[in-house]
Structure 1
Amino acid sequence: MKYLKLTLFSLLGAIAFMVSCSSDAENTDETDDTDGTDDTSDAASTPLSAFDEFNPDAVTVSFDGDNITIESNGIPNHTSPYWEETNPLYIEPVVATRQTPGRIGGDRSYSLTVSSAPEIAASSTATGLGAIGIAVTGVPIFNDLEGDSRPIEEEIAQTFDYAGAHNGPSGYHYHIESSDIPENTTLSYDDEKLVGIMADGFLLYGRREADASYPTDLDESGGHFGVTPHSDGEVIYHYHIVNEFYFGSIIALFAGNLQGTPNTIM
C-alpha cells in the first residue's frame, strides 16, 4: 500500500509536468534559458529504495501523503563493547581505550517525520546537542559536539567503539565514521554506502560517490546535487561524510549546518 501511494503521487506529478511543459512551449519568450545556468531544482523526491537499507529489526518507515516517518528503537544490529557482556553482540573493545558509562538497551525510541521532497532552505540551521539524524542501523546520529557543547577531543575520542559510537545519557549514538577493521562488516568506511537520513530529510552517504570517486563540489555541510546509489540516475541534493580529518585520525559524520529545514527527532 505504501508503495502504491507514492506511485499515484508520481503519476500525478508526471501529469502536472506535461501540462507545465505544454504551457512553457506556448510561452517560449518567458522560459527560454539562454544564459547557460544550471536549473537544477532544490527539491526532488527522496528515493524510496534508500529505505531498503535500514535495519528492519529496529526501523519502521511509513508514508502518509507527502510525509515520510522513520521510527526506530535506537538499538543497533552490530557488535559493540557497549552491549551487556551477556549479549551475543558483545565484544571486547578493539578501538576504544576507555568507555563512557552505560550499556546499549532500554527505551531509546526515536521518530522523525520529513517531507518526501525536502527542499534547500533560505538559510541553513546549526545543529544542536542530541540526535540530528537516524542511521541505517536505527542508531541516532549526533554532531561533532559533546554534552557541554565542546568539540570532540582526544579524551572523548578514546571512548568511541569501532562503529564510531559511545553511550551517553540519551543512549548509544554515533559521532564519527566507523573504523576499517575486520569487525566492521556493515557500516560505511571510506565508501559510497548510505549512512542514514538527517533531520531535514536529506540522505547522508559515505565519503565517496557511487563511482568510487571523492566528490569535489561539496558545500560547507558536505552536500551537493548529484546522483546516488538509490536515485536511479536522478540528480538530488544529498550529504556526504566530508573527506577530511576532524581530529587526529577521526572523521566526523556531520559537522556543519543543515541545509534544509530541520524537523524534530523525538
Structure 2
Amino acid sequence: MNPYPLRLLTIAISCALLLNLPGCGGTEDTDTVSSSSTDTVTDTDTDTDSDSDSDSEDLGSGILHTAYYEFDQDNVNVVLSGTKVVIETNGLPNHTSPYWSSSNELHVEPTVTSYAKMAPGYIDDFVGTYTLTVDNSPSKASTTSATGLGAIGIAVSGSVIYNDEEGPGVPLDDAATSLDFNGAHTGPQSYHYHLEPISFSDDDSNLIGVIADGFFLYGRKCNSTGTYPTDLDESGGHTSITQFAQDAEYHYHIQNELYLGSYYILFPGNYQGSASAIR
C-alpha cells in the first residue's frame, strides 16, 4: 500500500513553508522533500489537489515522482525544479552497521565480516555531501554507457550505490570479506553499497534508490507480480507498473543471480539512460 498521495494532500493543505536545498534555486512549481526535525514534506504546486493524488501523472510539468518520498528525509533533500530533480545527501545511512564508530547508537558488532577484515574508517568520519541532478521523467538513451568507479546512485537510506568493481581492474571479490551485512563498506570516501542492503530490502520489491541516469532501482522482485521478473535486460531493467507509478515505466531491479554463493550485486550492468555525475 502506498500512503504517500494521501500524505502529500494532507501536508499540502496544512503547510505554507517551502524548504529548498541551499543554492538550488526553487521556482513557483517546486515539490520538496526536505530534511527537518518535523519530517516535513512541502508541496507548492499550483495544480489541483486531484493532480497531487496521482502517483506519476504528467511528471514533466511540476509533480515530483512519488518514489522520491521514500528517501530518508533526515539524510536526503529532494527538490523538483522544472523538469529536473536535484537530490542531495549527506552520505550517511539510516541503519545499523559495524562501520559506525563504537560510540554511535547505530553501531553493531560485525557478523559477516570482522574488525580485522573491515575497511579503514568509520561512517562518522565522512563530512560532506553528494548531489545528483536527473530528469524527473527520464528516457532511455540511444546507446548504453558503462558505469565508472565511485558513486553511481543514491539509496533511500542516504548512502550511495557503487557498481560491482572495487577499483580499476579490481573485482569486488577481492574486497568481499570487508563488506558488512548490507553489502557495504567505507572508502575511499564514504560508506557505500555494492550488494543487496538487507536493512531495507531483503528479497522483496522495495525501492533501493535512484541510479545516476534517473531510473529507479528496486529489489529483486517486481511489485506488479510479486515474483522475480523474467524479462530483464542486460542492465537488470524492464518496463512495468510499480508501487509508485500507475503507468508502466522503465526501472531497474537487483538481478536475482547469486554472487559468491549468497549475495546479490546491486548494479552490474550499463546505464540505459544518460547518466549525470554524482558530485
Tell me how far apart the structure 2 counterparts of residues 109 and 136 of structure 1 sit (CA, whole Å). 15
1:219 to 233, 258, 263: 233
Structure 1 residue 172 and structure 2 residue 180: aligned?
Answer: no
Is the CA contact (8 Å cut-off) linking 1:5 and 1:65 kept in structure 2?
no
Q: Deviations over 1:112-162 (max 9, x none)?
A: 000111010000010010000000011010000012332211x41111111
- Say which SS state the counterpart of residue 195 (structure 1) adopts: strand
Match of 1:238 in 2: 251
Q: 8 Å contact 1:131–1:265 — kept in the other structure?
A: yes
Spell out structure 1 runs of 4+ moving beyond 3 A. Answer: 3-8, 43-47
Paired amino acid for 1:57? D
Verify: 1:126 aligned to 2:140, yes or no: no
The answer (yes or no) to whether the contact 1:199–1:264 under 8 Å persists in 2 is: yes
Q: Quick one: which amino acid aligns to residue 235 of structure 1?
A: A
For the Cα contact (< 8 Å) 1:47–1:230, is it kept in 2? no
Q: Separation in 2 of the partners of 1:149 and 1:70?
A: 30
Cross-structure match for 1:188: 201
Is 1:260 the counterpart of 2:273? The answer is yes
Partner of 1:204, secondary structure, is: strand
Paired letter, 1:223? G
Aligned partners of 2:133, 2:182: CA distance in 1, in Å? Answer: 25
1:129–1:149 contact (8 Å) kept in structure 2: no
1:159 corresponds, among 161, 178, 190, to: 178
1:139 counterpart residue number: 159
Report the equivalent of 1:251: 264
How far did 1:246 drift? Answer: 2.8
**Structure 2 CA distance for partners of 1:249 and 1:237, relative to 1, 3 Å:** same
Instruction: Give the match for residue 228 of structure 1.
Output: 242
Q: Deviations over 1:92-115 (max 9, x none)?
A: 002223200000022131000001
Query: Residue 209 of structure 1: which of 189, 199, 222 is its match?
Result: 222
What is the CA–CA distance in structure 2 between the aligned matches of 1:206 and 1:7, rounded to whole Å? 32
C-alpha distance 92-47 of structure 1, shift in aligned 2 (>3 A): same
**Are 2:55 and 1:74 aligned?**
no
Q: Identify the range of structure 1 (198-207 vs 139-148) with the bigger mean alpha-carbon deviation.
A: 139-148
TM-score (norm 1): 0.80
TM-score by length of 2: 0.76
Change (3 A) 1:219 1:104: same
Higher relative contact order (CA 8 A, sep 6+): 1
Q: CA deviation at 1:48?
A: 2.0
Cα 1:223–1:256 shift into 2, 3 Å: same
> 1:188: Cα distance to partner?
0.7
* Compared CA separation, residues 239 and 44, structure 1 to 2 (3 A): farther
> Contact between 2:65 and 2:136, CA under 8 Å: does it hold in 1?
no
Matched, 1:58 2:44: no
Counterpart amino acid of residue 53 in structure 1: E
Q: How many residues align?
A: 226
What is the CA deviation profile of residues 197-221 of structure 1, one whole-angstrom value per residue up to 9, with x for unaligned ones?
0000000000001132111110000
Q: Aligned partner of 2:170: which letter?
A: R
RMSD of aligned residue pairs (Cα, Å): 2.0
Instruction: Extract unaligned runs of 5+ from structure 2.
Output: 1-29, 32-42, 52-57
Question: Which of 85, 96, 104 matches 2:102?
Answer: 85
Equivalent position amino acid for 1:152 in 2 = L
Report the 3-state secondary structure (helix = DSSP H, G, I; strand = E; otherwise coil) of the residue aligned with 2:143: strand
* Other structure's SS at 1:213 match: coil
